[in-house]
Amino acid sequence: MAPNVELLQQKHNLDLHHAPTGLIDAKDIGTPDAHVSRDPNITRLTGKHPLNAETPIPLLMDHGFITPNSLHIVRNHGPVPQNQWDNHSITISGLVNKPVTITMDDILQLPSHTLPVTICCAGNRRKEQNMIKPSIGFSWGPGGVGTAYYTGVFLRDLINEVAGGLKPEALHICMEGNDNTAKGGYGTSITVNRAMSPEFDVLIAYKMNGEPLPYDHGYPVRCIVPGCIGGRSVKWLSKIEVSTQVSQNPFQNADNKVFPPTVLSADQATEENWWTNPDYSVYDLNVNGVVAAPYHGSKVALDDLNKNITLNGFAYGGSNRKVTRCEITLDDGKTWKLADIIDKKSEGDRYASEHYGYDKSKYPESYNQTRYWTWVHWSIEIPIADLLGVQEICLRCWNETNSVMPKDLNWSLMGMLNNCWYRVKLHLIRDPTLSLIFQHPTTLPGDTTQLGNTLPGWMEENQAEATAAASAAAPPKKTLFSADELKTFTLQEVEKHISEDDCWLIYDNLVYDCTPFLEAHPGGASSILLAAGTDCTEEFDAIHSQKAKDMLTDYLIGKLEVKRQASPPPTPPSEMDQVETTKSIDPSSGVVKSYFDPRKWKKLVLQKKEHMSATIRRFTFAIPQDVSQDCILSLPTGLHLFIKLPEDINDTSAKPKMVMRAYTPSKVNTRTIEFVIKVYFPFNSVPGGKLTTSLDQIRLGETVDFKGPVGEIQYLGDGEFNIHNKLYHDIDQIGMVAGGTGITPMWQLIQAALQDSVKRPFMSLIYCARSIDEIIFYKELKQLECDRLRVRLVLSEVPDDGSWTGGTGRFTMEELQQYLFPFSDSTSRLAFLCGPDPMLTHCCLPLLKEAYGDNFCANSVFTF
């Protein structure tokens, strides 16, 4: 009988047909995840895409036992599939008595269960490992963990009720998602014993905290394996195959391993067959705990030594093990103080029963009393006086098997399951009163402290020392192949692979096929294409972190023949190509005429440096005399140039460490090219911007390297754009919102569009700056204002004399509605944004969405 979907939906009391939607973060626009709503407060760990994010510890603690879906840790290996409830299915095959494909509505007919589960990535706290010696995984802080109430059917019910039960020889249940990672759908397996036993509660879940699963967490259905590392809980579940073997999916053997510390490199692991040895696969979590408060960087005044200070945090026992003890030492383990374990679960249960019908009494007490699938919170009061002279507070936690967090960090190649004592350092300062500053081991991008700065973690401070000490023993870059197994390519062969469908590059004498990563690259496809077919070792190092290097390994295809062959000179483009390139955003566009070359660095001499404000500089570089005028003026509008400099301009060594970033020129003359750039100076212990501080130290007459153009948004003239390789014709209104130095691409666009003669789009610019001094091109913009260009300036600090006639304070809906498209209605409008991330994410995009709707934002709003 066909299921009565309406009744089922009513029974489940929500619209499961749609994943929860909400605001789209600016960072996701133009990526394959542009359909996924994400909270801007999560901490993104690996650039824009795919999303790997953790919850800032203060937020995690504020929310107590239940982590809201929007803040919950996300670990994605590829783009989030745009699944739909109605056409999603799960195929159950292999060693079952009745292989079957089931729909989501079929699943709703089975008895549903709700249970709270803590999901934790095996890499949680990996950054501490990476500080000692780089592992082959990216750095997680301690917030790669969250707890939610999941609703679904038990996997055992699905197998028994729908697939006729298991065949006797069945040993492993392999699961796969329908996400499209570089290695295909993510998959892994658990044992039949775990999957089928009533002791383990393995769930096929379709709700998270009473809502349909959010896209990021597996919409419409995922597996939840309580007590295990998050990596076993397959999202976007589409295949279940019962087998005598563990999953043959590449993620099963090449991921989620803890090897002995003697395994130093992925190559070694391959050569010595460590990957396929099942003994090193991680399933259950181990006992672990984190100090949350006092948060990293908090300051506690020592004004009243009779006061107490509260330390708190969370802990998880791993597997189905109760956390039995959380202890603090102030003397490196000589003595311990017992913290209280706080029963936050009953609070969570109460909330879940009030808000989404969780009924604990549905299960016998014998069940409820034997389930430890979730974290606990702990807390302890310590007299402030006890902290005088203390250098470090350490936490260790125990589980019911008396397993305890070890004192020392145990490094392993994948940096997983790090559970050493959590150490917080204390510093006595006079500021102006005597106070203590609390310093945690590591920090993450965007972390700011109570003091408003970005105090590094103590391990980060030690890193220079630690990495120097460890560099001799640091493992070579990850590869799943041994050097001998790798195919050898000549430079000539590599040079042939330079297109969007076929993009290879060389890093450190190894050859990578980066084609599958083009779409996902946070810096856009064009910046990889710039390097296609070349040895980009130096540039890669200049712009990327260790984690990017780790990511490269997924694309390794071979090694470079050491004796390099001379390559034939590049074939000049045919006339046909030349016509094409002017309309194309391919990095080679403009190559024919432009002085700048996407593949070769050109040196330009710094001719002039003007201080436009305390931090904003205008740098003017001279174009060599012998370069013809056309070559410069053909620089495509909207694209950027890479600037490369030594990180330390006083480094006179043969191979100084380089840094490189992309900037939009603000003005291109026949003889000069200008860049307006904000210099990020160091502040307290916050390091300054690497490139901008170096650039600021360049003296007149010295040279800087340039390469390009690069970018995804190009104005072709006469109302025509090429954006992410798609042409937009006949645009008659261009709305722009710029913040701070984000004005530069707009400024280029305005100047180009004012020259149009055939189709002449109307333009409007809303430009937000802190003060009148920080409005770049103030006079120039005023002069250009005309019937075709409206400019609205919004200042957060206006002059006292009452002379200011522009907008004041924040950028509001009123400003947007009045000034973004001030011209009569039109259907061919595009909006462009450029400015600081928080301004775009918290202000512009929500307002644009409210004013013009989701569709407009998804298709007609672009961020430079």
Active-site positions read 121, 255-256
Stretch that binds ligand MTE, among 225-233, 303-311, 484-492, 655-663 (CB under 6 A): 225-233
CB of 108 to ligand MTE, least distance (A): 21
Site string for ligand MTE, 125-164 (x = CB under 6 A): ----------------------------------------
Q: Is 75 in the site for ligand MTE (CB under 6 A)?
A: yes
> By CB under 6 A, is residue 76 in contact with ligand MTE?
yes
For residues 390 and 162, give the distance between their C-alpha atoms in angstroms, rounded to a whole number: 61
* 182: Cα separation from own chain's centroid: 17
Q: Which CB atom, from 72 or from 792, has the smaller least distance to ligand MTE?
A: 72
Shortest CB 252 distance to ligand MTE, Å: 12
Q: Evaluate the omega torsion of the peptide bond into residue 709 and state whether it is cis, within 30 degrees of 0.
A: yes
Decide if residue 423 touches ligand MTE (CB under 6 A): no
CB closer to ligand MTE, 187 vs 806: 187
- Here the tokens at position 47 are 């650039």
230 belongs to the binding site for ligand MTE (CB under 6 A): yes
Cα separation of 4 and 754, whole Å?
60
Under the binding rule (CB under 6 A), the answer on residue 217 touching ligand MTE is yes
Nearer to ligand MTE among residue 236 and residue 283 (C-beta): 236
Scanning 232-240, 279-287, 593-601, 856-864 for contacts with ligand MTE by CB under 6 A, the matching segment is 232-240
Q: Is 234 in the site for ligand MTE (CB under 6 A)?
A: yes
Q: Provide the 3-class DSSP secondary structure of residue 329.
A: strand
Least distance to ligand MTE, CB of residue 194, Å: 16
56, 196, 761 from 823: Cα distances, Å: 43, 65, 11
C-alpha 792/C-alpha 819 separation (Å) is 7
Nearest to 299 by CA among 387, 396, 378: 387
| C-alpha separations of 217 from 226, 255, 546, 858 in Å | 15, 20, 27, 22
Residue type (1 letter), 762? F
Which residues are within 8 A (CB) of 730 and not within 5 positions of it... i.e. 6 or more apart?
719, 720, 759, 828
Tell me how far, at minimum, the Cβ of 348 lies from ligand MTE, in Å.
17
Q: Which of 12, 127, 156, 235 binds ligand MTE (CB under 6 A)?
A: 235
Closest CB to ligand MTE among residues 121, 845: 121
Place of tokens 């490269």: 552
Q: Which of 138, 149, 186, 621 binds ligand MTE (CB under 6 A)?
A: 186
Choose which of 31, 43, 129, 233 interacts with ligand MTE (CB under 6 A): 233
Q: Does 297 bind ligand MTE (CB under 6 A)?
A: no
Residue number, 238 or 449, with CB nearest to ligand MTE:
238
Question: Which residue, 73 or 90, is less far from ligand MTE as judged by CB?
Answer: 73
Nearest to 230 by CA among 153, 163, 318: 318
Q: Are 447 and 56 in contact (CB under 8 A)?
A: yes
Applying CB under 6 A, what is the total number of residues that bind ligand MTE? 19
Label residue 189 left, alpha or beta by phi (over 0 means left) and psi (-120 to 50 means alpha).
beta
Q: Judged by CB under 6 A, which stretch of 234-242, 430-438, 503-511, 796-804 contacts ligand MTE? A: 234-242
Minimum CB distance to ligand MTE smaller for 77 or for 172: 77
Asked whether position 73 contacts ligand MTE by CB under 6 A, the answer is yes
Q: Residue 208's CB: how many other CB atoms inside 10 A? A: 26
CB of 414 to ligand MTE, least distance (A): 11
Least distance in Å: CB of 256 to ligand MTE? Answer: 7
DSSP 454-495: -PPPHHHHHHHHHHHHHHTTPPPPP-SS-TTTSEEE-HHHHH
Of 77 and 133, nearer to ligand MTE (C-beta) is 77
User: Which range in 233-241, 370-378, 836-844, 850-858 contacts ligand MTE by CB under 6 A?
Assistant: 233-241
Q: Are 12 and 2 in contact (CB under 8 A)?
A: no
Q: Are 164 and 97 in contact (CB under 8 A)?
A: yes
Q: Which amino acid is at 672?
A: T
Binding ligand MTE (rule: CB under 6 A), the pick from 95, 121, 591, 791 is 121
Could you tell me which stretch among 72-80, 626-634, 682-690, 795-803 binds ligand MTE (CB under 6 A)? 72-80
CB of 841 to ligand MTE, least distance (A): 20
Instruction: Assign 3-state DSSP to the chain and report helix, strand, coil percentages, each to 5.
Output: 25, 30, 45
Q: Which stretch binds ligand MTE (CB under 6 A): 35-43, 71-79, 723-731, 818-826?
A: 71-79
- Please report how close the Cβ of residue 230 comes to ligand MTE at its closest, in angstroms: 3
- Closer residue to ligand MTE, CB minimum distance, 228 or 643: 228
The two structure tokens encoding residue 443: 């920090």
Nearer to ligand MTE, 181 or 454 (CB): 181
Burial of 137 (0-12, 13-18, 19+ CB in 10 A): buried
- The reply to whether 74 sits near ligand MTE by the rule CB under 6 A is yes
- Which tokens is 68 given? 């809201």
| Contact stretch for ligand MTE (CB under 6 A) within 73-81, 83-91, 278-286, 732-740 | 73-81
The interface mask with ligand MTE, positions 21-60, x = CB under 6 A, is ----------------------------------------
Name the 3-class secondary structure at 451: coil
Place of tokens 């360049």: 698
**Contact region for ligand MTE (CB under 6 A) — 226-234, 477-485, 488-496, 836-844?**
226-234
Residue window 307-346: x/- pattern of binding to ligand MTE, with contact defined by CB under 6 A = ----------------------------------------
Binds ligand MTE by CB under 6 A, chosen from 77, 321, 497, 559: 77
Q: Of 78 and 709, which has the nearer Cβ to ligand MTE? A: 78
Question: How many helices (H) and strands (E) would you count in the chain?
Answer: 23, 44
Window of 17-25, 58-66, 230-238, 476-484 that interacts with ligand MTE by CB under 6 A:
230-238
Q: Can you give 289-330 as a three-state secondary structure string?
A: EEEEECCCCCEEECCCCCCEEEEEEEEECCCCCCEEEEEEEC
Contact 589, 517 (CB under 8 A): no
Question: Minimum CB separation from ligand MTE for residue 295, in Å?
Answer: 23
Q: Minimum distance between the CB of residue 701 and ligand MTE, rounded to whole angstroms?
A: 52
Nearer Cβ to ligand MTE (140/663)? 140
12 lies in the site for ligand MTE, by CB under 6 A: no
Q: Nearest CA to 294 among 451, 406, 418? A: 451
Closest approach, Cβ 4 to ligand MTE, in A, equals 30
Using only C-alpha atoms, the chain has a radius of gyration, in whole angstroms, of 29
What is the edge-to-edge ordering of all strands in the sheet holding 602-611?
658-663, 640-646, 703-710, 602-611, 616-622, 672-678, 667-668
Q: Pull the structure tokens for residue 176.
A: 């796969």
String of DSSP letters for 270-288:
HHTT-TT-GGGB--B---E
Question: What SS3 class is residue 356?
Answer: helix
Asked whether the beta carbons of 73 and 60 are under 8 A apart, the reply is: no
CB 767 within 8 A of CB 759: no
Q: Does 179 bind ligand MTE (CB under 6 A)?
A: yes
Per DSSP, the three-state class of 658 is strand
CB of 217 to ligand MTE, least distance (A): 4
**By CB under 6 A, is residue 415 in contact with ligand MTE?**
no
Query: In 770-837, at which residue ranges do the beta strands (DSSP E only) sit?
Result: 789-795, 807-808, 829-834
CB closer to ligand MTE, 235 vs 599: 235
For 578-595, the DSSP string reads HHHHHT--STTTTTTT-S
Minimum separation from the CB atom of position 104 to ligand MTE (A): 16
The binding site for ligand MTE (CB under 6 A) comprises: 72-77, 119, 121, 177, 179, 186, 216-217, 230-231, 233-236
